[in-house]
A and B are shown apart, each in its own frame.
Chain A
């Protein structure tokens, strides 16, 4: 059996809608914070991993390596955006376990808070979207998930109050951290007063738009003992990508009421790491929208199909509930760095450093990354 690897350092820039620094500067800050947290020097890093689309075109590995003084003997990227960042520990695991390198950096950053086009620009990658969707005004993630939400309401009796409960829980968590990007108090009444973005989704149902970066450093269990903080182990990574194109995934999949690849990634993860997701003490789900958070709760098996709305409304996903979800406020209220902040939060939880949002005695946590049709699930433990 190969040795486990551990996350030994984390770093993130403060949650912000707009920063006066660009994405490269933000990333450098986050990586230097992660090195400091680990008690390592940049020269100790000998491998870099990231998502395969966003980072290679905005903060390339070789640029970052030159800036910080890193010679690489391993370099890899996978999938794209959130599923890539959450899946990347798989690459680090393979490289460290086989001796290709010793200490691996993973990072992600965005400046979509200030960049024109923001997260909507990437739709122009897909020919069928350009031809058959964009002309109709169907060209933004909120509209994709709005279609899911309406059909879900029709099939399973989802109520808007269920979606509101997710948004309100996470806003409350963000407020408790004392540093979330959106810490405005929100009642049910405030939720219903918020403007509709794409029926039935309102502003509080949608992730933030942010400028910011995050980073984490992984090494062998053995080397982890010499680092500054308590090592947090990578217990398992499940990545899956169903045979459906990104063009088709939001409209043509036979069953649109489950998210692609989530069930497959869960099964793969449980089979390979010997753990059950039911044993998690908390979860940091890829909450690009309230409805995608809700669908993951079901597709990951935390509740039955059609039951997540009641599950959330009953308070089970709050801090102190049986399954705390997005303890820092998530992409909805903490920041939108496509889940790298979910990794840093999970590590804080497992170290016992989460302060006012600490889950008592947290030993195992799940982090997910959704980049339809790709999905990655990462189990961390102390």
Chain B
């Protein structure tokens, strides 16, 4: 599959992705919401996947989330993971953005302390990285 892997790796800087990091740098966590039908979608798309309207706004959430599921990655699947494992991954949901789930790193939590359904709080990055990571810790 080496040919297919040459896909445009800069696609993350496509216009439909940009609002996310623009808002993170302003200290807000936001997700796309269609102005025409009011529904949310995630990940970013060119148009609303529910009604195909192009008028999409970035709507901030409070940063409070609920843990939907999780894992601890222990095997270094790729070169960059070798120095980082174990990494605790969470998939979180937002009461103020139903239908959106975010992959994140859970911090300051031991595996035995993790419970599905637990309340979490976003830890937004400081600084000016182009695509910074959003982490969550227990609320």
- Which residues of A line the B interface, CB within 8 A? 53-54, 57-58, 115, 117, 120-122, 124-125, 127-128, 130-133, 135-140, 142-143, 146-148, 150-151, 154, 195-200, 243, 245, 247-248, 251-252, 254, 256
Contact = CB atoms under 8 A, between A and B. Distances in A.
B58 interface: no
Contacts of B95: none
Given A120-B78, A132-B103, A199-B74, A127 B12 contact: yes
B133 A136 contact: yes
Contacts of B116: 150-151, 154
B65 to A, nearest CB: 14
Given A137-B73, A200-B71, A256-B69, 4 more contacts: A115-B2, A137-B87, A199-B71, A252-B42
A242 B5 CA distance: 24
Contact of B69 (A120, A150, A245): A150
Interface string B74-101: 1101100100110101010000000111
Nearest to B115: A154
B14 interface: yes
Interface residues of B, number: 44
A150 B118 CA distance: 14
Contacts of B17: 127-128, 131
A147 B43 CA distance: 18
Contact of B12 (A125, A130, A256): A130
Contact of A147 (B69, B77, B104): B69
A130 B11 contact: yes
B36 to A, nearest CB: 18
Q: Which 5 A-B pairs have the closest CB atoms?
A: A131-B12, A127-B11, A128-B43, A140-B77, A146-B71
Contacts of B11: 127, 130-131
Contact of A57 (B4, B44, B103): B4
Contacts of A248: 42-43
A204 to B, nearest CB: 13
Interface in B16-50: 17, 42-44, 49
Interface of B: 1-5, 7-9, 11-12, 14, 17, 42-44, 49, 68-75, 77-78, 81, 84-85, 87, 89, 91, 99-105, 111, 116-117, 131, 133
Nearest to A253: B101
A247 B43 contact: yes
Contact of A122 (B4, B77, B100, B117): B4
B70, B75, B81, B87, most chain A CB atoms within 10 A: B75
Given A53-B4, A57-B4, A147 B75 contact: no
A121 B2 contact: yes
Contact of A135 (B49, B101, B131): B131
Given A147-B91, A198-B72, A252-B101, A124 B42 contact: no
Contact of A58 (B1, B14, B75, B87): B1
A147 B74 contact: no
A276 B108 CA distance: 51
Given A136-B133, A150-B70, A199-B72, A125 B77 contact: no
Contacts of A200: 71
B71 A251 contact: no
Contacts of B42: 248, 252
A196 B76 CA distance: 12
B108 to A, nearest CB: 16
B5, B71, B117, most chain A CB atoms within 10 A: B71
Contacts of A127: 7-8, 11-12, 14, 17
Contact of A139 (B44, B78, B85): B78
B91 A196 contact: no
Given A137-B81, A248-B43, A121 B131 contact: no
B1 A53 contact: yes
B74 A252 contact: no
B77 to A, nearest CB: 4
B9 A136 contact: no
Contact of B9 (A57, A124, A247): A124
A135 B133 contact: yes
A121 B5 contact: yes
Contact of B5 (A124, A132, A245): A124
A237 B85 CA distance: 42
Contacts of B111: 199
A116 B110 CA distance: 33
Nearest to B133: A135
Contacts of A199: 70-72, 74, 111
B4 A138 contact: no
B74 A251 contact: no
Nearest to B81: A137
